[in-house]
Amino acid sequence: MGVNNRLLIPSDVPVMEDVEKGAIGCIALGALEHAIEKGVNADSFHNEHALAIWHACRKLHDKELPLNEVNIAKHAPRAGMYLIGAIEDAPTAHNLVAWLPDLLDTAKRRGVFLRYYHALREIADPDIQTDAILRRQEENFFAASTSYATQKTQTDEWKRLREMIKSAKGSGLPDKGIRYGLPQIDQYLRGLKPGSMNTIAARPGCGKTAFAMQVALNVASQGRPVFVWSYEVQQIQLMQRLVCTHSGQDVGSHFEYGHGRDEKMIESAIHCERLPIHFEDSVDVTISRLRSQARRAVKDHGIELFVVDYLQKVPIDRHYKDRTREVAELSSQLKNAALETGVPFLVLAQMNRAIEERNGEPRLSDLKESGSIEQDSDTVSFLHHDPNDKELLQYILRKNRHGQTAKVALNWQKSTGRFRSAQEFQTTEEAPV
């Protein structure tokens, strides 16, 4: 749990002495592996003798030495009398199941108690910045309400895997991955996986923001909440892009010349307003605040997709002399945010100028200012103008941790921000009215 249980513990900390004693007695009698499988660890014990016996049992187990009263007493000599009483209270290894629920539940309560007890001590310390206290408490709350509630043992996960294998027989498992809504791309990506970082890179003007907004629109239209951080485009402009894409109307042209079907635009604006899309367009949201907002958004809104536009624009909390190290830190933090929330991140990124100085398609080395983006990303894709047809964009999937790479030709209608595969566009254009 990341909390030092030994420091300045108040007298009213949650603890059940009899439960700890009975459980550690069972462990000493041979239930150590069962206890580990069920999630018991050092934080499960508050009593210093019980904790010493736990550490002794782990050392003996790691050294493949017999787990018995004599050996345990050698490794925890000051807990000898407590050990005798614990074994008597157990009184067999099989009785661990009777003690486990209260042992684990009390440990969770104690963890929450200690987190906030130490927060009170930090609040009283003028040398600790308020922002740091608030950020740490938000992390603690997220850990307490999410990690504890969803903690699973290896046994639970193996059981879940077996059930998934059985359920997939015949027609496969239901598709729960986040799809872009472009079938020719989705067939290769096979859905953005929970906790994954998915990077789309392009040079300026190649439509990466428009692409991300179309994905956000498609995902939110399925009732799946989306959260967007924009460091380059204001919220009102993102909303305008959504309306353009949904309505098929050029809102920019309507503002400038009065062209287009305004009633259709208004209908789309009403529709998009009702979608579960949340925007943050403040340019001073640092990477640590972004992670904090992500945790809160998952708790408050059940977010299923995060979009970051774009990586190299995100402010960093500490500055490095080397810009490459800064970008590497941003990339690592975004990957951590995806892992801790269990939600896929769609991260936009800039390509460097090398692509403009040579012929050919983008390479992974074209990611601007850092090779760590490639390492942290589960998928890396590029949007690139087709050299043979300037009306088309190439979507090039260069890295795919969960499937194959691919290249898909896209038609991008800039006026509305709509993307379609070139094949779909051609079929639509040639279809009889």
Q: Domain tally for the chain?
A: 2
The two tokens of residue 106 are 């009390």
The answer as to whether 178 is a domain residue is no
The answer as to whether 112 is a domain residue is yes
- Give the burial string for 373-405 (b: 16+ CB within 10 Å, else e): bbebbbbbbbbbbeeeeeebbbbbbbebeeeee
Bridge partner residues of 420 (DSSP): 411
User: CA–CA separation, 96 vs 9, rounded Å?
Assistant: 27
CATH number, residue 81: 1.10.860.10
DSSP codes, 120-182:
HHHHT-TTS-HHHHHHHHHHHHHIIIIIHHH---HHHHHHHHHHHHHHTTTT-----SBP-S-
**376 in the same domain as 283:** yes
Which residue's entry shows tokens 């949904």? Answer: 246
Residue 423 pLDDT:
65
Residue 308 pLDDT:
96
Residue 226 pLDDT:
95
The answer as to whether 43 is a domain residue is yes
Residue 249 pLDDT:
81
Identity of the amino acid at 67 = L
**150 in the same domain as 220:** no
Identify whether the C-beta of residue 82 lies closer than 8 Å to the C-beta of residue 21.
yes
Identify the CA nearest to 146 among candidates 35, 336, 295, 2: 295
CATH number, residue 236: 3.40.50.300
| 3-state class (DSSP) for residue 192 | strand
**285 in the same domain as 205:** yes
Tell me the CA distances in angstroms from 85 to 25, 50, 58, 82, one per residue in order. Answer: 8, 11, 20, 5
The answer as to whether 177 is a domain residue is no
Q: Is the dihedral of CA 170, 171, 176, 180 positive or negative?
A: positive
Residue 86 pLDDT:
93
**400 in the same domain as 344:** yes
The two tokens of residue 173 are 């498992």
Residue 18 pLDDT:
93
Q: Which domain holds residue 72?
A: 17-157
**202 in the same domain as 117:** no
First to last CA, the chain: 64
Residue 229 pLDDT:
94
**197 in the same domain as 151:** no
User: CA–CA separation, 183 vs 395, rounded Å?
Assistant: 13
Residue 176 pLDDT:
65
What is the greatest pairwise CA distance in the chain?
90
**228 in the same domain as 337:** yes
**358 in the same domain as 398:** yes
Residue 167 pLDDT:
66
Alpha helices per DSSP H over 90-125: 96-123
**144 in the same domain as 260:** no
The answer as to whether 168 is a domain residue is no
Residues of the chain with pLDDT under 70: 1-11, 138-158, 160, 164, 167-176, 260, 369-370, 390, 422-433
The answer as to whether 174 is a domain residue is no
Identity of the amino acid at 57 = C
- Give the burial string for 277-289 (b: 16+ CB within 10 Å, else e): bbbbbeeebebbb
Asked if the bond preceding 310 is cis, omega within 30° of 0, the reply is yes
Residue 380 pLDDT:
92
The answer as to whether 142 is a domain residue is yes
Residue 140 pLDDT:
65
For the chain, give me the number of helices (H) and strands (E)? 18, 9
Q: Strand 277-280 vs strand 226-230: parallel, antiparallel, or unpaired?
A: parallel
Residue 164 pLDDT:
63
| 3-state class (DSSP) for residue 265 | helix
Residue 281 pLDDT:
87
Provide the phi-psi class of 418: left if phi over 0, else alpha when psi is between -120 and 50, else beta.
Answer: beta
Residue 203 pLDDT:
84
**360 in the same domain as 236:** yes
**205 in the same domain as 102:** no
| Residue 6 CB coordination number (10 Å) | 9
The answer as to whether 368 is a domain residue is yes
pTM, whole model, 2 decimals? 0.65
**278 in the same domain as 374:** yes
Residue 237 pLDDT:
87
Phi and psi of 320, rounded to 5°?
A: -110, 155
Element (H, E) at 426: helix 422-430
Provide CB contacts within 8 A for 362, sequence distance 6+: 201, 351, 355, 382, 384, 396, 398
